[in-house]
Chains A and B, each alone.
Chain A
C-alpha cells in the first residue's frame, strides 16, 4: 500500500511538470491571441477613420477604400498600418544601410539588454543585501528605509546625465541606472519575504542553537524566494525601461535608446520605424520577464501552490 502511494507521489511530480508545460503553452497562446486582437482593433480603427487604403498586405485595392471618418490620430503618419510596421523590420534600416532594420534593432536590443541585465544582477544583489541587513538590524531598517524610498522619487531623467558624467558614455552607466531602478522592489519584497517564516520555524532553529547564518540560509532565504521572484519580475521589466531611459537623453550609442531618438527625428518620413522600435523594446522587456518567470518555475517547482504574480 505504501508502495502504491509512493509511486503516486512520483506520478504527481510528472503530472506537475506536464501541467506547468501546459501552462507555458497556454500563456504563449493567450499572448499571441491578444497580439492578434490588438492588430485587428488597430486595423479596424484605421478602416473606419484612417487614411485612404490603397493596398492591404501588399495587395492593391481597386478602387481604394475610403474610410467614412477622418481622424488625425489614425492617419498613416500617426498610426501606420500593422503590415508597414512589420515590413519596415525587414527593409534596410536606412537608405544606404546593408542591414535590415530588424538586424539593427536586434543588435541595439542586445546592447541595451547587456546593460540592463548587468544592472539587474547588480540591483538584485544590492537589493537583497539591503533586505538581509534590514531584517537583522531594526536600527538600520528604521534609519535607512526612508532613504531607500526617497531614492525612488528622484526622476531617472535627472539622475542619468550625472551618472554618465561620472562613469562615462557607455554601458556601465546604463547598468548603474538599471541597478538603481532594480534594487528597490527587491529590497521591499526581500524584507517581507525574509520575515515571512512561521515564528515556530525560527523557534525550531533556536532549539537547534543554530547561528544566524544557518537561519538565513536554511529558513529565511528559502522562505523569501517566492517574494523575491515577484520582485525580480517587476525589476526585469524596470531594468529594461531604465536602460532605455538612461541611453536616450545621454546619447549613449548602440542601444535602443539611441534608436528611439534617431527614429523619432525621422518620424514624419518613416513613422513605422519608430513603431517597430517600440515593439522591439516591448519584446525585449517581455523576453526578460519570461526568462525570470522561467527561472522562477524551475526554482520553485517543488513548492506547493505558490501565489502567482
Chain B
C-alpha cells in the first residue's frame, strides 16, 4: 500500500490518554501515507486529535498502538536524524536572540560550521523576506513576521518534512492569507513535504494537495479529499468555482463526521510535560 519512498506512513495508529481509571481515546484506526512533495492538511473540530497526530509523526509523543514511519524509519529514528522541522501556533522564538540567531539555533545544535551557517541563515532569511530584520529581536517584529522567522528556522537544516501545527491560527485574516501565499511559494521553492494542521477550511483547501478530514472522539479519518486546483495558486485561486466547491465538500465532510462545531468542546490535546 505505502510505497517504500513515502515520507510518512501511518498504520493502524491509535492513541489513548490517561491512566487505567479514566481513559480518553484520542485517535483510533488511523491509516495515512504521504508522498514526497505533498502538502497535506489535517482538518477537524477541536479534540479530534489532529495536533496529537502531528506530534506523533514528529515523535514528540508516542502512539499507543500502530506504527509511524518517516522516510522509511521509525519516527523516533527520524527525529534523531533530524528529518523534520516543526512550526507551532506560537512562533516560540527566543527573546534573547536576534532573528538571525534564532534561525541559527538548530544549525548550532547540528554543529554546522560557522561559515556555512552564516550563508544558510542569509538564504533562509531571504526566503521568508526578513533579511532586513536579521539583527532585530523577536519582540520588535509583528506576529506575521515572527511566524515567518519560525518557518525559516524550521527549514534551516533542509528537513525533508515540515510539520506545522496551526501556524497561522493566531494571525488576522488578511495576514493569514498573505502567509498562505508565501508558504506555497516557499513550499514550491524548497520541495519540502508539508503536514499542516488547521481549523480553517479555506486555508486547508487553498494550500493543500490533499485535505484529510477528521472527526472527534475518537479521532479518526473520515474522508480524504484531493485538491486538484491548478498551481501556482494565488489570490485568483480563491475566486475559482472549484475552490468554492471544494470548500463546500470539506464542510459537508466535517458535518458528516459529527461534532461539526467547536462550541463546547474541551481544550485541545494535553501537552505532555517534558520536564
Which residues of A line the B interface, CB within 8 A? Answer: 2-3, 5-6, 9, 12, 135, 195, 198-210, 214, 218-219, 222, 225, 302-304
Contacts and interface: CB of A to CB of B under 8 A. Distances in A.
Interface in B221-275: 271, 273-275
B12 to A, nearest CB: 25
Contacts of B96: 222, 225, 302-303
Given A199-B273, A200-B90, A208-B110, 16 more contacts: A6-B132, A6-B136, A9-B133, A9-B140, A198-B90, A199-B275, A200-B88, A202-B275, A207-B58, A208-B82, A209-B79, A214-B108, A225-B96, A303-B95, A303-B96, A304-B95
Given A2-B132, A9-B133, A219 B94 contact: yes
Contact of A208 (B92, B106, B132): B106
A222 B273 CA distance: 20
B60 interface: yes
A200 B136 contact: no
A264 B110 CA distance: 63
Interface residues of B, number: 31
Contacts of B60: 203, 206-207
A218 B108 contact: yes
B171 interface: no
B40 interface: no
Which secondary structure characterizes the binding site on chain A? helix
A207 B132 contact: no
14 contacts: A2-B133, A9-B140, A198-B90, A199-B275, A200-B88, A200-B90, A203-B274, A207-B84, A208-B105, A208-B109, A209-B81, A219-B94, A303-B95, A304-B95
A187 to B, nearest CB: 17
B184 to A, nearest CB: 22
A5 B132 contact: yes
Contacts of B82: 208-209
Which of the listed residues B80, B88, B139, B275 has the most CB atoms from chain A within 10 Å of its own CB? B275
Interface string B92-133: 101110000000011011100000000000000000000011
B86 interface: yes
Interface string B52-95: 00000010100000000000000000011110111010101011
Nearest to B76: A209
Contacts of A219: 94
A46 to B, nearest CB: 52
A83 B85 CA distance: 70
A204 B275 CA distance: 13
Contacts of B109: 205, 208-210, 214, 218
Which residue, B140, B271, B273, has most C-beta atoms of chain A within 10 A?
B140
Nearest to B275: A195
Nearest to B91: A200
B154 to A, nearest CB: 9
Nearest to A206: B60
B50 to A, nearest CB: 16
A204 B79 contact: no
Nearest to B97: A222
Nearest to A300: B96
Given A135-B275, A201-B94, A202-B274, A218 B133 contact: no
B176 interface: no
B82, B92, B273 pick with most chain A CB within 10 angstroms: B92
A227 to B, nearest CB: 13
A9 B138 CA distance: 11
Contacts of A12: 140
